[in-house]
Structure formats: structure tokens, C-alpha cells
Chain A
Amino acid sequence: MSYATQKLAEEKVFKDPVHRYIHVRDQVIWDLINSREVQRLRRIKQLGTSYLVFHGAEHSRFNHSLGVYEIVRRISDDIFHGRPEWDESERLVVLCAALLHDLGHGPFSHSFEKVFALDHEEYTRKILLGDTEVNEILQKVSTDFPTKVAEVIAKTYSNKQVVSLISSQIDADRMDYLQRDAYYTGVSYGHFDMERILRVMRPLDDQVVIKSSGMHAVEDYIMSRYQMYWQVYFHPVARSAEVILRKILQRAKELSASGYKFEQPPTHFLSFFDQSFSLKEYLALDEGVLMTYFQLWMTERDPILADLCDRFVNRRLFQYVDFDPGKDYKKLGELAELFRSAGIDPEYYLIDDSTSDLPYDFYRPGEEEERLPIHLLMPNGDIKELSRLSQIVDAISGKRRTDYKLYFPAELLIDGKKTAIKQQILEMLREGGV
């Protein structure tokens, strides 16, 4: 028996709050789960800073990766198994891609990527193809197997059905994280009838379609997605924490470049500041490392770094106001000037943030060939785009909704110093000036 088809003597199961059990029979999958790079995902939270708003949201990318694997395993082994349109030989590559799709995420992934101009997909590829335990395991399947898995995750693989299962507008990734994030945040949104969706999924030509009889289950999924975005993913307080996190990393980078003598030198970050980091250094970072630095930097001499770290660690977050850039963008410069006059650096304490800065999206049917929409398979064999048949989906996917906020430290504006200027700032912020 080859390594690719080797089974465990006994099936292993992981107890899971979303899928009840996650089943592993393949030796390859078991070995991958036990690799250093996959275990590292236990130390990276799935929802970044959302735990500062939803205290239960401490779940990791490891949980999510297992969940995506389990959904794809069920599709491959139960739903698609035996269907002539599905190529059974793709089973192992799609299972591995599902398990490994988030491998390249760094600590507090989104903020970290923004500050250091990184792309986690690129690091997923480097981990799959580089000198890693994951690569060693995949190589044992065949020499070209790591590249195949990397291509599926990068969405450039030749079999589009395989790509669609991992990454499309209704894929295993989204189906897991919506349910998992709803469970761990404790919100009542995010739940939908996944069993029904799985039962009506069909491989067809170069995509995965949904039988039209399952349209209402898909409507439910789209609504869950929409509500989770506004209630959880775009939550303004979690965004406040993200803003502070970004500014901590930016400040540390700037201080390092200026020759500032840290009491606790940013040893783990130095190669990131000058973009010279190796894969080994990338993999050495996790949220435990970052939080340790933030704890230690709370007593740094630099008042801005110390203050920002204290805010993040002790949840003294920035306040926010809604902001309409269309009307008020000119006043931002004026406001920044007033911050400077008040002795508060606007670069670190006056920050605008919009939903386009966040790594989540709504369902949009879009234009032809812009991005693959959700397609329904009609009883006569025709294919129809979802929003053309569903009034509910049409109603929410056609409407634009954006959210712009301005973040600032409210208590610094009422601390009794330079009160006249600060009063002017507060009036601008709170009385419609911006």
C-alpha cells in the first residue's frame, strides 16, 4: 500500500462543537495534523482581536482548519462519491488543501500583514514548498504533490471543482467559519442548514453548483453571512483593537528605524522591520510571542509605545465616531492639526478605518466573469445565478453598505491640559464637525 492510500489502524476522531466529530482515517492527514506548522495554528486566533468584544472568541485557526477538512471530507467521501462528474483521484489533494489552506497566517494576521506588507497566501505556499515538516510529509505522497496542494490553495489548479470546494462564494472555508465564529462568539446569527446545502451540492463541468430545490438553504447561508459581517466581523470595538494593534507594530518599527534603544529589544521583529526575515523566523512568531512583547513594552520609555501596549493588553480601547468622508474629508487635516496643537500625535491617535480595510466580503453576483457567483442547477439542466431567482439575496446583494469610522483616545481629550483646543476637537468629533 502506498503512503497516499495508507489508512490508520483505527479511525481517529476529534470532538468538535460545530461538526460534533472530525474523522481521520488517512495516515497523510494524521501526519499533517501532527506537524509543527499545523500545530502552530493553535497559537493563532481565528478572529484576531474579536475576543476583546466577544469573550468566547478565543478559538484558533487550528480548530477552523480541522473544520474545513471535515466538511470537504464529507463532500468528497459522501456527497460527491460515485458521481461521474467528480474525479475520485482528487480526494487526497482536496483534503490536504482543506486542512492546510490557512497555514500561512501570521499572528493577528490581518494587522500583521498590513503593517509588514505581507500576504499570508504567499507564506502558505512557502510553507508547503519549503523546508518544513509539512513539505516532507506531502513529498512522501509524490514529488509533485506539494505543488498540487499549493495550486489548489492558490486557486490556480487545473480542476476548478477542487478549487471551488475550498474557495468560492459558498465553500467549505466560509461554511465552517460562519458556524464556528457564531458558536464561539455566542451570537445567534451565523447558523444555517449546512446539512441541506451539502445534500444539494453537485459537481458540474468546472464548478460546484446547488440544486435549485436547495435555494432557501442557500438564502439562509447568505443572510447568515450578511449578519455575521455586521454583528461580528465589522464590530467597531474589535476594529478599535485592530487599529491599536497596527499602531503598536508601526510604532515599534519606527522606533527601531530611528535607533531608539529599547529596554526590551524587538528581537523577533527585527528581520520583519527590514523585510529580511526567513521562513523559519516567520514560523517562530505566534500570538503568544506578540503578547509577551506587548506586556513588556508597557514599561518602555517611549510614551506612545508604552501607552498603545497598555491600551491593547488592558483593553483601554479608542473611542470612535461615524465619519462621512464624502462630506468631511477636508476637515481631517484640520483635526490632525488640532491634535498636534494639543500635543497628541495624530499619526497614532487619530485613525480612520473603513470596511474596505477588513478581510471579509458580502455576496455579490457581480459582472460576468468578474468572480464566480453561486449558480443554481434548474430541473431542466439550466444554470441560473442565485440573485436572479432569490428576491432575498437580490435585496441584500444589490445594496451597498459601507461603514467609515474615526478612532481616537477620548480620555486624552478630557485630561485637563490644553482644554480649549481639546474642547474644540471634541466638538468637531461629537457635534457633527466630522
Chain B
Amino acid sequence: MLQGHAKIVDFIAAAEGVTGRKKLQKMIYIMKKLDIPFQEKYEFHIYGPYSEELTARVEELCDMGFLSETLEDKGSYVQYKYSVTEEGQEFRKVLGESILDNPLTAGKLNAKSGRFLELTATLLYFDHLNHQDQIDKLHVVKGKLNFTAEEIDEAFAFIEELSS
């Protein structure tokens, strides 16, 4: 019971807070692809892998008082910042052991930009394709973002690093 919620709290605690819903979405997706057993179901949306279940679960955690959410108005949109409250820290302790084999991974992901995580998550979404097809598909679905060859190489290297 509530184990799925506890995993999200645990991750945000390990990352020492996350700024940006989009960033959180991509980070959890990448963790899932690393076989960390998050339960949230993802689908591909216009901006890459997205989980409605994760959005709803984070809202619930804010309601429960385990996460704090602050909003910053950026003009045409708002940005959300999440951190774990004292009650949330207690909750993750009570609910049991962490699923994060290496909590440092959360920090590594958090240190990357939203753009880079979007690139990485999208490449991982197409990881059933061969290397060149992955890149071709990336350009089809993310044509407007004009990812450079250097960025793509860096993302592949990052995936390699996380997987090892």
C-alpha cells in the first residue's frame, strides 16, 4: 500500500528537490528504462515520454503533505518546483527500503538540463531501434529542437554511463 507513492518521494529526496515537471517526468522515465521499478505508465506525447499517472501521483503527494510544490510564473507558462517535506521524509522511512540501488543517479539526472533529459528520454523511447534509426526517429519527432550531433553523442554516452 502506497509503495508507488513512496518511490516518488524517495527519488525526489535523493535528487534533493526537482525544478520543473517536465524534468521530473523525463527523470523518472529514464530511471524506469534503467529497470528501477517505478510503476507509472508512460506514453509518447508531442514532447516525448509522458506519464499522466506520475502527474496525478505527484498531485496526491502534494495533497498528502509529503511534497511541497512552489510555482514560478514564467509569463506564458508556470514552472513547478518540488521538494520533500519533513512529513515526506518520515513517510519514506516508514514505508521501507529505497528502490534506488544507487541514489547518486538521481543527482546525476538532476544536474542535467530539461533539454538534455528530453533528448535522452526520447532516445531511450526508441531503444528498440538500431542506433541510426534511433537518431533518425529523434529528428522526426523532435525536428524543431535541432539537436546537434554532439548533443546526441553526449546523450548516448550518458545512457552508457547510467547503464554501467
Contacts and interface: CB of A to CB of B under 8 A. Distances in A.
Max chain A C-beta neighbours (<10 A), residue from B57, B66, B77, B79: B77
Nearest to A404: B60
Nearest to B45: A371
A354 interface: yes
A88 interface: no
Given A156-B141, A325-B2, A402 B79 contact: no
A163 B46 contact: yes
Nearest to A325: B64
B63 A326 contact: yes
Contacts, number: 101
A336 B2 CA distance: 13
B64 A367 contact: no
Given A326-B66, A361-B55, A402-B56, A368 B137 contact: no
A402 B53 CA distance: 12
Contact of A329 (B2, B43, B47): B2
Contacts of B2: 325, 329, 332, 352
Given A326-B66, A365-B77, A367-B79, A372 B46 contact: yes
Contact of A371 (B46, B63, B65): B46
Nearest to B77: A368
Interface size bucket, B side?
Answer: 35 or more
A329 B64 CA distance: 10
Given A326-B65, A326-B87, A361-B52, A366 B1 contact: no
A372 B44 CA distance: 12
A402 B60 contact: yes
Interface residues on A, range: 35 or more
Contacts of A357: 53
B60 A370 contact: no
A372 B41 contact: no
B21 interface: yes
Given A356-B60, A365-B77, A154 B66 contact: no
Nearest to A113: B41
A365 B22 CA distance: 12
Interface string A308-349: 000000000000000011100110100010000000000000
Contacts of A207: 46
B110 interface: no
B140 A158 contact: yes
Contact of A154 (B1, B25, B44, B57): B44
A400 B55 contact: no
B103 to A, nearest CB: 22
A263 B7 CA distance: 40
A385 B45 contact: no
Interface of B: 1-2, 5, 20-22, 25, 41, 43-47, 50, 52-53, 55-57, 59-60, 62-66, 74, 76-80, 87, 91, 94-95, 114, 118, 126, 137, 140-141, 143-144
30 contacts: A155-B43, A156-B141, A158-B141, A160-B46, A168-B46, A206-B144, A326-B63, A326-B64, A326-B87, A329-B1, A329-B2, A332-B1, A332-B2, A356-B56, A356-B57, A361-B55, A367-B20, A367-B21, A368-B74, A369-B114, A370-B21, A370-B22, A370-B47, A371-B45, A371-B47, A371-B50, A385-B76, A385-B77, A388-B76, A402-B56
